[in-house]
Structures are given as structure tokens and as C-alpha cells.
């Protein structure tokens, strides 16, 4: 219930354009259509997440025709004229999905969701935007969730959702995982699944039965594959044993020079006995190498997946891939990071939800000097809680160039942290300086004392549009940086 309330409230605030300040006027400069489109994607992500839950627990998925109709209307929304009708459809369908889900789980707080929907009506906020011409000045408001001072560095601006950054895999055939492979979760099928996928030629879509549960005791390896779509249709891949905490016990593990891979719509359940808590050490009591999806190879896409109980990261990018798109996924729990970029070029992670991670939600950290990280974008994601303070200082975003590798063109934009601050640490350690780092339009939900964001030894630094509750001190600390733009 808490997760639903938080995500739904964030959706409402997003559409309303609400920001908290201490006394200055907030100016809205985003068009109604842009704001609506962004929020529509959040609704779609919510709906897809719930449908994964329906499949997992074998609950009948409610009809969702209104959302389909709203999508069609949104595609032709050129002005303010029909935005109200579209948003009303979205509101009604989303409420229906949530209510039916709660009722099927015998949740007694259904009334709270209905009240929240009524008091933060999407349509009423849409009418406010419909009156907007170029900008609207709003009366400053203070946070009702914390008595702490709220520092608004600049009014956040909603981002225009991205188009597909690279072409989808080209496939000419569709095959289905055979019924001869145990789909009850009773026996280990990791080798059988790997061999079956190996037998399917490149240029194929492989469909997994929606209600299936596949037990795996090792990672499913993809060796030198090209133009391949793996569609889980909401099926579950699950570890049954707590043994195995290294990368070889992840879920999907590409090897070799593969390209044009799309993994989508899987429920991935790891073997961690401490979900969302950083537990270093060795198997079976600790480890940090089991990942949800290990990404290597060019033009690699992951979407619609729900990941939980992994010892390591939700997503782990290695091997220098070019063009990676991680979007519209839900990481319920990860023992280390939500996403680690060890190396890669043109990596986009957007519209993902990270509920609970053991260290950082987003980490850029090459291991050796040859592992460069360039043009990395982390935007429009939601983060619940992160970090195990007893072991390391936790951050929502961290970047470290200790390995003397190139880190250039990092954008952290439009993300929301609901259960913690936007704490950030970017440090070149003075050896090879990072370049072109942008940290803008992010929102923190928990008041903290002292500086929240630290940037050291960066050439070309932009920090604007961030909102963070503070109980004392200043929001940022900048050391030895050049080309700084901040407000």
C-alpha cells in the first residue's frame, strides 16, 4: 500500500507542476502537452508493473481499454483542447487497476487510495495547465511532510520523453519456449534454457509463456547473439538456492561481441537472504556479484522487467557497449546498486523505479583505466531508499574516477528520491578529471543536515533545478571545478 500511495502521489505532483520553496515565486515554463506526456509514461509504467504482479500471483488482469484509448488520443494531442479528456481516462483506468489489485489482496486501505485520487484530481490539475499560455506564477507553498527548510535551487522543468534511441532488433521469426522445459519452478532449467536459446537462430523473437515459473541455479548465457528479442510476457525466473552470489549466478549474462538484444517483461527473483541490504562477503552468506541483467554488446535494451532479491545490482553495464537503453523497469530490491556503469557509451536509463538498494541508486565507476564511460544519461527515474550507512556513505548518485579512466558527458536529470535525499558524490580524485557533468531537476524527499551534493575536480559542471529539504547548512559543496553553472 505504501508503494502505491507514494508512486501515485508522485504522479499527481508531476502533473500539477508542484514544487516547494521558501518564499520565491515558482515559474512554470513547460507546456501542458510535454507535462502530460511525461505523466502518461509514468501511468504506463505503473500499469505495467501491476500487470507483472497480476501475472506473478495469477490474478486476473482487469480490462484496461481506457488507457489504450488515452494513448491514441495522446498521440494526436497538438494543443490543450483534448488534454482534459485524455487525463481523465488515465485517472479512471489507473484507479481501477489499483483498486482491483488492492481488493484482490484483501487490502483494507482501498478507501485511502480513492480519497487520494479524489483530493489530487488529475483533471483539476489539467485545467490549471490549460489556462497556461507561456508561464504561470504560483503561490509559494511549504512542505506538509516535513518541518525542515526546503531549498529550491531552481524550479524543476519536466523533461520531454525520449524517442527510441536506436532501432529495435530485426527479427523474422517467432518461437515459443517448449512445454518440455519445466515451467513449474520445481527443477533447475538454467542449462536447458541456455541450450534452447542457443538452438534458435539469430533474428528471432523468443516468447516465454506468461504464467510460467522457471527455476534457475545458474545464469542464462547469451553468447555472440545478434537481433534477438527475449519476451518474458510476465513469466518468472527464480533462484531457489541462496548459494551463488557471483556474476555467474545472475539472470541474463551476455558473452562475446553480441548486438541488437532486447530483454523485456520478465520477473526476476534472486537468492539474497537480505533483500536491498548490502551484504559483502562470499556465498552463501554474502556477496555482491549476482546481477539482474548484465549488459554488454551494442544496441542492448532492457524494459518492463521486475527485479528483486539480487545480491548485487539491478543492472550492470560492462565490456564497453555502445547504445544501451534501460527503461520502464522496476527494481524492488538490489543488494548493491540500482544501476552500475563500469564502461559504456550512449547509455540511457529512464523511467525506472528503484525501491530499495543497498548502496547507490546510480553508480559510474570504471575498474581500470581502459574502461571509459561517455554520454551516460540517468533521467526521470524514481528512487525509494538507498544505502547501508554502517558500511559506506550512501548516495543516490556517485561517480568515481579512481581508476584514471575517462568519464565524460554524464547527465542526471529529473529523478525523484522519495525516501531519502538526492545525496551525490562525484570525485575525479584529482588524477584524470571528469568532464561535462550535468545534475539538474532532481528532487529529494528526506531532510538532511549538511551539504547534500559534492563535486570535485570536474571540468564543465552544471547544477540547476534541484529541490532538496535541508535541516541545516548549504545544499552543495564544489571543489576544484571549472566551467561551473549553478543556481
Question: Considering its fold, how many domains does the chain have in total?
Answer: 2
CA nearest to 345, candidates 259, 302, 409, 294? 409
Which pLDDT band, with edges at 50, 70 and 90, does 454 fall under? very high
Same domain, 182 and 133: no
Does residue 446 carry a pLDDT above 70? yes
- The range of the structural domain enclosing residue 101 comes to 2-142
Q: Is the same domain home to 100 and 232? A: no
In a domain, 250, yes or no: yes
The pLDDT score that the predictor gives to residue 241 is 76
Model pLDDT, residue 472: 67
On whether residue 445 sits in a domain, the answer given is no
- Domain for residue 321, yes or no? yes
Q: How many CA atoms lie within 13 A of 2 on its CB side?
A: 5
Q: How far is CA 413 from CA 9, 129, 350, 367, 475, in A?
A: 20, 23, 10, 25, 17
Q: What pLDDT is recorded for position 118? A: 39
Q: Which three cell numbers stand for residue 377?
A: 544519461
Question: Residue 162 — very low, low, confident or very high, per pLDDT cuts 50/70/90?
Answer: low
Residues 68 and 107 in one domain: yes
Does residue 451 form part of some domain? no
The C-alpha atoms of residue 225 and residue 187 are separated, in whole angstroms, by 26
* Whether pLDDT at 302 is above 80: yes
Task: Report which DSSP code applies to 310.
Answer: B
Q: For the residues 268-278, what does the mean pLDDT come to?
A: 90
Q: What is the pLDDT of residue 485?
A: 94
* Strand, coil or helix: 93: helix
Q: How many CA atoms lie within 13 A of 188 on its CB side?
A: 12
Q: Note whether 220 and 320 are same-domain residues.
A: yes
CA 412, CA 441: separation in Å to the nearest integer?
Answer: 8
Residue 143 has pLDDT above 60, yes or no: no
Residue 329 scores a pLDDT above 80 = yes
| % the chain with pLDDT above 70 | 65
Predicted confidence band of residue 430 (pLDDT cuts 50, 70, 90): low
> 100 and 237, same structural domain?
no
- Mean pLDDT across the stretch 270-279? 90
pLDDT bin (cut points 50, 70, 90) of residue 334 is very high
Q: Domain end: 413, 439, 455, which one?
A: 413
Shared-domain flag, residues 33 and 83? yes
Q: Can you tell me whether residue 30 is helix, strand or coil?
A: coil
| Per-residue pLDDT tens digits for 372-402 | 999 999 999 999 999 876 667 789 999 988 8
Distance (Å) of CA 339 to CA 4, 246, 360, 361: 23, 16, 8, 6
Question: What pLDDT score does 449 carry?
Answer: 75
pTM equals: 0.69
Average pLDDT over residues 291-297: 90
Report angle CA 143, 351, 193 to the nearest 5 degrees. Answer: 140
11 within domain boundaries: yes
Whether residue 426 is contained in a domain is answered as no
Query: Does residue 60 register a pLDDT over 80?
Result: no
Residues 137 and 177 in one domain: no
How high does pLDDT run on average in the chain?
74
Q: How many residues does the chain have?
A: 487
What pairing do the DSSP bridges indicate for beta strands 322-327 and 306-308? unpaired
Query: Of 2-6, 94-98, 332-336, where does mean pLDDT reach its minimum?
Result: 2-6
78 and 219 together in one domain: no
**Domain assignment present for 430:** no
104 vs 112: CA distance, rounded Å: 16
CA 449 – CA 470 distance, rounded (Å): 6
Same domain, 136 and 181: no
Same domain? 342 vs 385? yes
Using the predicted structure, report yes or no on whether residue 69 has a pLDDT greater than 90: no
Cβ count near 339 (within 10 Å): 29
For strands 330-334 and 353-357, give the pairing.
parallel
What pLDDT does 428 receive?
A: 84
Q: Residue 364: which of 356, 375, 352, 373 has the closest Cα?
A: 373
Residue 251 lies inside a defined structural domain of this protein: yes
Cα 334 from Cα 292, distance rounded (Å): 9
Return the percentage of the chain with pLDDT > 90, whole number: 47
List, for residues 87-141, the tens digit of each pLDDT value: 455 555 555 554 444 444 444 444 444 444 333 334 333 333 333 322 222 232 3
Nearest Cα neighbor of 338 from 257, 428, 246, 415 is: 415
**Together in a domain, 120 and 217:** no
**CATH number (domain holding residue 285):** 2.160.20.10
Which residue, of 142, 159, 183, is where some domain finishes?
A: 142
Q: Before 284, cis peptide (omega within 30)? A: yes
* Dihedrals phi, psi of 447, to nearest 5 degrees: -70, 140
266 and 136 co-located in one domain = no
Q: Which residue has the cell 552543495?
A: 476
Q: pLDDT tens digit string along 198-243?
A: 999 999 999 999 989 999 888 888 888 999 999 999 999 998 877 7
**3-state SS, residue 251:** coil
Between 10 and 190, the higher pLDDT residue: 190
End-to-end Cα distance, the chain:
37
Domain boundary among 392, 413, 434: 413
CA distances from 375 to 324, 343, 357, 436 (A): 11, 11, 24, 9
Amino acid at each position: 500500500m505504501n508503494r502505491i500511495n507514494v508512486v501515485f502521489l508522485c504522479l499527481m505532483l508531476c502533473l500539477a507542476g508542484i514544487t516547494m520553496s521558501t518564499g520565491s515565486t515558482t515559474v512554470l515554463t513547460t507546456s501542458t502537452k510535454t507535462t502530460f506526456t511525461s505523466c502518461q509514461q509514468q501511468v504506463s509504467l505503473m500499469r505495467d508493473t501491476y500487470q507483472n504482479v497480476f501475472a506473478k500471483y495469477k490474478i486476473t488482469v482487469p480490462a484496461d481499454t481506457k488507457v489504450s484509448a488515452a494513448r491514441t488520443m495522446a498521440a494526436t494531442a497538438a494543443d490543450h483542447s483534448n488534454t482534459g479528456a485524455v487525463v481523465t481516462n488515465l485517472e479512471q483506468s489507473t484507479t481501477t487497476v489499483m483498486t482491483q489489485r488492492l481488493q484482490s489482496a484483501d487490502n483494507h486501505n482501498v478507501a485511502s487510495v480513492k480519497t487520494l485520487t479524489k483530493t489530487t484530481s488529475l483533471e483539476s490539475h489539467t485545467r490549471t495547465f490549460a489556462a497556461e499560455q507561456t508561464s504561470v506564477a504560483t503561490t509559494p507553498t511549504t512542505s506538509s511532510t516535513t518541518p525542515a527548510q526546503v531549498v529550491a535551487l531552481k524550479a524543476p522543468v519536466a523533461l520531454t520523453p525520449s524517442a527510441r534511441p536506436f532501432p529495435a532488433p530485426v527479427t523474422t521469426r517467432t518461437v515459443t519456449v517448449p512445454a518440455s522445459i519445466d515451467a513449474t519452478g520445481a527443477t533447475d532449467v538454467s542449462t536447458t534454457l541456455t541450450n534452447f536459446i542457443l538452438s534458435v537462430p539469430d533474428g528471432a523473437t523468443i516468447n516465454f509463456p506468461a504464467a510460467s515459473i522457471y527455476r534457475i541455479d545458474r545464469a542464462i548465457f547469451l553468447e555472440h547473439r545478434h537481433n534477438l528479442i527475449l519476451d518474458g510476457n510476465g513469466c518468472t525466473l527464480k533462484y531457489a538456492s541462496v548459494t551463488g552470489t557471483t556474476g555467474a549466478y545472475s539472470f541474463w549474462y551476455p558473452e562475446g561481441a553480441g548486438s541488437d538484444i532486447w530483454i523485456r517483461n520478465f520477473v526476476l527473483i534472486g537468492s539474497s537472504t537480505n533483500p536491498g541490504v548490502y551484504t559483502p562477503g562470499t556465498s552463501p552468506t554474502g556477496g555482491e556479484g549476482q546481477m539482474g541483467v548484465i549488459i554488454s554488446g551494442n544496441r542492448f535494451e532492457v524494459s518492463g522487467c521486475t527485479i528483486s532479491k539480487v545480491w548485487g545490482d539491478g543492472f550492470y553495464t560492462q565490456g564497453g557497449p555502445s547504445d544501451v537503453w534501460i527503461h520502464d523497469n522496476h527494481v524492488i530490491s538490489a543488494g548493491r546498486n540500482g544501476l552500475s556503469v563500469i564502461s559504456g557509451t550512449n547509455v540511457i536509463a529512464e523511467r525506472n523505479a528503484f525501491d530499495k538498494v543497498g548502496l547507490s541508486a546510480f553508480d559510474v565507476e570504471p575498474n581500470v583505466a581502459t574502461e571509459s564511460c561517455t554520454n551516460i544519461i540517468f533521467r526521470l527515474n524514481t528512487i525509494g531508499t538507498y544505502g547501508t550507512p554502517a558500511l559506506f556513505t550512501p548516495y543516490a548518485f556517485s561517480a568515481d574516477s579512481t581508476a584514471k579512466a575517462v568519464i565524460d558527458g554524464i547527465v542526471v536529470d529529473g529523478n525523484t528520491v522519495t525516501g531519502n535525499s538526492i545525496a551525490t558524490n562525484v570525485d575525479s580524485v584529482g588524477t584524470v578529471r571528469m568532464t561535462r557533468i550535468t545534475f539538474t531537476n532532481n528532487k529529494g524527499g528526506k531532510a538532511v543536515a549538511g551539504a547534500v551534493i559534492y563535486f570535485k575536480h570536474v571540468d564543465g559542471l552544471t547544477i540547476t533545478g534541484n529541490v532538496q529539504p535541508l535541516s541545516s547548512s548549504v545544499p552543495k559543496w564544489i571543489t576544484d571545478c571549472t566551467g561551473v553553472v549553478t543556481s
